[in-house]
Structure 1
Amino acid sequence: MAATCCNFIQASSGFQGLPEYLQLQSYFTRCHQRSSSSVEKVFHKRCGGRLQVERWHQYQHVSCARGVESSLSSVVGEETDEDISKGTLIWRAIKLPIYSVAFIPLTVGSAAAYLQTGIFSARCYFVLLTSSVLVITWLNLSNDVYDFDTGVDKNKKESVVNLVGSRTGTFIAAYLCLALGLTGLTWTAVVERNMRSILFLVCAIICGYIYQCPPFRLSYQGLGEPLCFAAFGPFATSAFYLLHGSSSVKNHFPLSGTVLSASILVGLTTSLILFCSHFHQVEGDKEVGKMSPLVRLGTKKGSEVVKRAVLMLYALLVAFGLCKALPLTCIFLCAFTLPMGNLVVRFVKDNHKDKNKIFMAKYFCVRLHALFGVALALGLVLARNTKFTSWPILLS
């Protein structure tokens, strides 16, 4: 208390001379073992009218104001989280940007088929797009249902189950979407007479099921990212490629190195979205025993994983170009997405500890996924006018 009072005296500059200040400082040093109340009494007695009381109170007022301002900031932040509008919560629950994971595999697969055949079926494309959106809707809704069952979404206000207030209704809606989506995919495969595509699509849906649904729930074991990579990369992208290509070469359309390379890149960007969606949920995942990669690694190491994943994405792009699995047009156009990739890396590195800001990381990854996928597809389409030829790896 004595040392604190001395510091206050120095800051207030309420004494008229340095000798008087030094004398009082010496006195308080000798009295440092006294109780705080005794020290304050002596202080007032010694200082008398020489201490400018107004400055003393002003200093206390500023100090208290800073403390109150800090407290109010935290309280306001909490109230802001609680007072999010219903419209904002509904928008978050819909997760519209996430549906790019239905659009990109289909677009890249269709572009790879166009590169080889020069044919594009708009009817087939939009039927597959609608069916894919329905399947993704099933993934999102069923994920909310099963996370509600385990308690991981108990504080998640944008959960569809929490918004609707009905677990059963959400469950029924989810599997109705799955049934309609499967019907559309199967109908397209039958019309195009390519049953190999159904095998790939079923494998993709199985990956989605064992990712989140009981009794598997492999996402709770930290296996969500590999399953996401396989489902949206090699399985879905290759299936859409086969469905579009079979319109011209029904029984002999090859699974080429080009579509395989492109599907690996699509799978990588899709998995990055899922990985970054865990950053702001680490504490909640720990409570229910969901061992996501970020629970195991921590957010700091997780930010390094994001950096290496983005570097790997562009390194593979160049490697596939050098071995002529992808045309140079793809390399050139995808290079324009480098600033977006850099933004993802920097944002995660700077904000991995702030769960209020890191929430946006997955949306930056969605932008990277969409921009990279569109650039990749456009590169494949433009390569149709070049002498590029893809090499087959599997014939029907």
Structure 2
Amino acid sequence: MYAVAVMPVLLAAGWRFGRAEPVRVEQLLLFLLAAVLLLAWENLANDVFDADTGVDTHGKPHSLVNLTGRRDRVAWWANGCLLVGLALMALVAWRSAPVVLALVLGCCGLGYLYQGPPFRLGYQGLGEPLCWLAFGPLATAAGLLALAPAAAGAAVPWRTALMLGSGPALATTLVLFCSHFHQVEEDAANGKRSPVVHLGTGPAAALVPWFVAGTLALQWAPVLVGPVAQRWPLTALLGIAGLPPARRLIRLLREHHHEAGRISSSKFLALRFQALNGLGLALGLALGRWWPA
């Protein structure tokens, strides 16, 4: 799961390295650790909040609340991960630009809006847009600033963050989207109106190829179009490494979308696509130092 947490800053590192700009390795390591802790908070808190509504009673065997039976203890672990993760991110911001912490707090705020009371926007089918915003422009901008030389008044590189983070964030959003397929009945019974509940499993499965195509299109457009001086290197097409698990995912959901037991692995296929695609893109951008556009 934690490939989705580390990808924004890995992409930022690949981008900066490929442009022969300095990458502060100690900042990269701190950011990676903080990002993992903050996603651990998100996942654990989601288990706690979903336990309160009963939505995970039968449809989510990986819930730590279900596995341990200790909601209070899982809540403590979640809050501990949040505090340590934010402390590390504050250190990253102190060593780079204060706005880094503000951007990360924005990501955490979107995560709480998704799952936490009284908002629970994920129950209204709004989790996917929130996911894209958090793991796309916000987290990528924070990563770009964290790895750059320290500058107290640094401007947020929104244009670069949007161009760099949009495609990989769509792949991350696909992971969340696919997590709904095997628990449609439980979600509907407990008032969680996920996109798959709204659409039905068949129409929702038909959207998966568009998620994949959109991810690749957003990554390939800067390579193939625009002024030559601003194009990404041809090696950025290495994001295609995620295509094999994506094809298996599309085939699985097309043929078995209505069989909850057979599609429980769909989220993990989406994760493989997201991880291989993002790592391929980050590596391809880094190789641009030697193979420019």
TM-score (structure 2 length as normaliser) = 0.92
Q: Does the CA-based 8 Å contact 1:225-1:274 persist in structure 2?
A: yes
Task: Describe the shift of the 1:112–1:100 C-alpha distance in structure 2 as closer, same or farther (beyond 3 A).
Answer: same
Q: Does the CA-based 8 Å contact 1:112-1:381 persist in structure 2?
A: yes
CA positional deviation for 1:199: 2.0
Task: Describe the shift of the 1:326–1:369 C-alpha distance in structure 2 as closer, same or farther (beyond 3 A).
Answer: farther
Counterpart secondary structure, 2:261 = coil
Of structures 1 and 2, the larger Rg is shown by 1
Q: Does the CA-based 8 Å contact 1:229-1:268 persist in structure 2?
A: yes
Partner of 2:110: 207
Partner of 1:95: none
Tell me which amino acid in the other structure corresponds to 1:272: L
Alignment of 1:262-301 (within 5 A): 262-301=164-203
Partner of 1:152: 55
Cα-to-partner distance string for 1:150-196 (whole Å, 9 max, x where unaligned)? 0101124432112222111111110111000000001111012x112
Partner of 2:86: 182
Cα distance in structure 1, aligned partners of 2:249 and 2:202: 15
Cα distance in structure 1, aligned partners of 2:122 and 2:231: 32
Q: Does the CA-based 8 Å contact 2:18-2:288 persist in structure 1?
A: yes
**Matching of residue 340 in structure 1 with residue 245 in structure 2:** yes
Partner of 2:268: 363
Q: Does the CA-based 8 Å contact 2:243-2:277 persist in structure 1?
A: no
Cα distance in structure 2, aligned partners of 1:166 and 1:294: 30
CA positional deviation for 1:316: 2.2
**Matching of residue 380 in structure 1 with residue 285 in structure 2:** yes
Partner of 1:9: none
Counterpart secondary structure, 2:265 = helix
CA positional deviation for 1:250: 6.4
Partner of 1:352: 257
Cα distance in structure 1, aligned partners of 2:241 and 2:12: 21
* Alignment partner of 1:219 out of 122, 132, 143: 122
Cα distance in structure 1, aligned partners of 2:185 and 2:130: 23
State the superposition RMSD in angstroms: 1.9
Tell me which amino acid in the other structure corresponds to 1:172: W
CA positional deviation for 1:132: 0.8
Q: Does the CA-based 8 Å contact 1:270-1:369 persist in structure 2?
A: yes
Cα distance in structure 2, aligned partners of 1:326 and 1:287: 49
Q: Does the CA-based 8 Å contact 1:114-1:381 persist in structure 2?
A: yes
Q: Does the CA-based 8 Å contact 1:102-1:133 persist in structure 2?
A: yes
Task: Describe the shift of the 1:244–1:180 C-alpha distance in structure 2 as closer, same or farther (beyond 3 A).
Answer: same
Paired residues, what number? 289
Alignment of 1:98-177 (within 5 A): 98-155=1-58, 156-177=60-81
TM-score (structure 1 length as normaliser) = 0.69
Cα distance in structure 2, aligned partners of 1:258 and 1:326: 12
Counterpart secondary structure, 2:289 = helix
Cα-to-partner distance string for 1:49-84 (whole Å, 9 max, x where unaligned)? xxxxxxxxxxxxxxxxxxxxxxxxxxxxxxxxxxxx
Tell me which amino acid in the other structure corresponds to 1:186: A
Partner of 1:235: 138
Q: Does the CA-based 8 Å contact 1:117-1:245 persist in structure 2?
A: no
CA positional deviation for 1:330: 4.3
Larger deviation, residues 107-116 vs 300-309: 107-116
Higher RCO structure (Cα 8 Å, ≥6 apart) = 2
Partner of 1:316: 218
Cα distance in structure 1, aligned partners of 2:46 and 2:158: 34
Cα distance in structure 2, aligned partners of 1:209 and 1:266: 22
CA positional deviation for 1:318: 2.5
Counterpart secondary structure, 2:2 = helix
CA positional deviation for 1:310: 1.1
Cα distance in structure 2, aligned partners of 1:335 and 1:172: 40
> Identity rate of aligned residues, in percent?
36
Return 5+ residue gaps in structure 2 as ranges: none
Counterpart secondary structure, 2:264 = helix
Alignment of 1:52-63 (within 5 A): none
Tell me which amino acid in the other structure corresponds to 2:281: L
Return 5+ residue gaps in structure 1 as ranges: 1-97, 389-396
Cα distance in structure 1, aligned partners of 2:254 and 2:32: 35
CA positional deviation for 1:331: 3.9
Task: Describe the shift of the 1:118–1:253 C-alpha distance in structure 2 as closer, same or farther (beyond 3 A).
Answer: farther
Cα-to-partner distance string for 1:306-331 (whole Å, 9 max, x where unaligned)? 11111222222232221266513344
Cα-to-partner distance string for 1:331-354 (whole Å, 9 max, x where unaligned)? 431234333332221122122111
CA positional deviation for 1:357: 1.5
Alignment of 1:68-107 (within 5 A): 98-107=1-10
CA positional deviation for 1:256: 6.4
Cα-to-partner distance string for 1:124-146 (whole Å, 9 max, x where unaligned)? 11111111111011011110101
Counterpart secondary structure, 2:117 = coil
